Amino acid sequence: MRDHIVRSILVLAVATSAAAWAQGVKITPLGSHAGELCSRDRATIFEDPTGLRILYDAGQSVMGADDPRLGKIDVVLLSHAHGDHIGDMKMRALEAGTCDNPQLVSAAPNSTTAEIAAAKNAAVIMVVPLANFIGRKVESIRGKPTTACPPQTGADLVAPLAAPCLATVQTGGTRTFKASATSKAVEITLVPAAHDSTVPIALLGDAERKNLEPDNVSLTLGPPGGYVIRFTNGLTAYLTGDTGIHAEMQTVEHDFYKANLMELNLGQSALTPEAAAYAVNTLVQPASVIVSHVNEGATSGGKVRPMTRTAAFIALVKGRPVYPALSGKTMEFDGAAKCVAGC
């Protein structure tokens, strides 16, 4: 009888674990043109099975806080301060302009990142100088100080928040966030990137702009980064940020975190298609790849255009699927990084 009870408990535990693994993380790119991967597309929303929603790199392909596609946002992530990520510009309207050249308007002095964090009462999880800069923009929008996020269950943050707040990290630091006090936590870690993080001068105050403009320079807001997010279904996503290839892709993202999904930024100033494919095939070795930040109108009718950098990269990736980040198309991934819907 005792052995039977033990076996029953083990079977139940395995079944529960398998059910949790099968639950999907929903990933929705927000670009300039529906169903396409376009030149300014950066923003991605990740929704954990518990309902926690994370916005990564709002950038210029959203309309700011009023963008109807956003919905509830619990966490705002920002990899670095460049204008196409922090959002010094925003879409004039959805579908405005062309996929190669969307029509943008200024988002100064606040940025799309700050607008959205302020409107959504979101936690700002990013490196300290960058978080402090966004926090001051949020303060300007709301007319109230942006304070540190208060932990609510142990070290965890718990949604919904009553006001936007700062959950700062240094490179290598982790924050845990729950959709409710009783749900499992999503783990968000800031990881290294090889890039730059100067802020657009248009987002600086008048005095600072006057000091810097004669030398054609701006301020650096801490080191650039990427993120590793461990979702409650077991999916471990590596969001590269803008970066060249670096050794930590193997030692940190592959060896330590064992990332099985990679969202790769294919910016031409940092990666050739060959270098990007090496990062995927040899360094990170994820089960699946999402390609974004391609700086070209990569698709037409939702299909990758031949003779693009994006097509060249996809052709070089071996043994795993590569999904273009098509705007508004929600992909769903299980814990093993297998796309189970929308791909």
Query: What sign has the CA pseudo-torsion 60, 231, 187, 251?
Result: negative
Q: Are the C-beta atoms of residues 111 and 134 closer than 8 Å to each other?
A: yes
Q: Does the pLDDT value for residue 190 go beyond 50?
A: yes
- The pLDDT assigned to 11 comes to 38
Residue-wise pLDDT for 312-340, tens only, equals 999 999 999 999 999 999 999 999 999 99
Please tell me whether the peptide bond between 68 and the residue prior to it is cis, using omega within 30 degrees of 0: no
Contacts 24+ apart (CB under 8 A), 92-98: 93/63, 94/32, 94/34, 94/63, 94/67, 94/69, 95/32, 95/33, 95/34, 96/32, 97/32, 98/33, 98/297
d(CA 241, CA 218): 20
d(CA 29, CA 36): 10
Rg of the chain (C-alpha set) = 20
Indicate whether this model's pTM tops 0.85.
Answer: yes
Q: Does the pLDDT value for residue 58 go beyond 70?
A: yes
Q: Which CATH number applies to 24-341?
A: 3.60.15.10
Residue-wise pLDDT for 3-43, tens only, equals 554 354 443 334 444 555 679 999 999 999 999 999 999 99
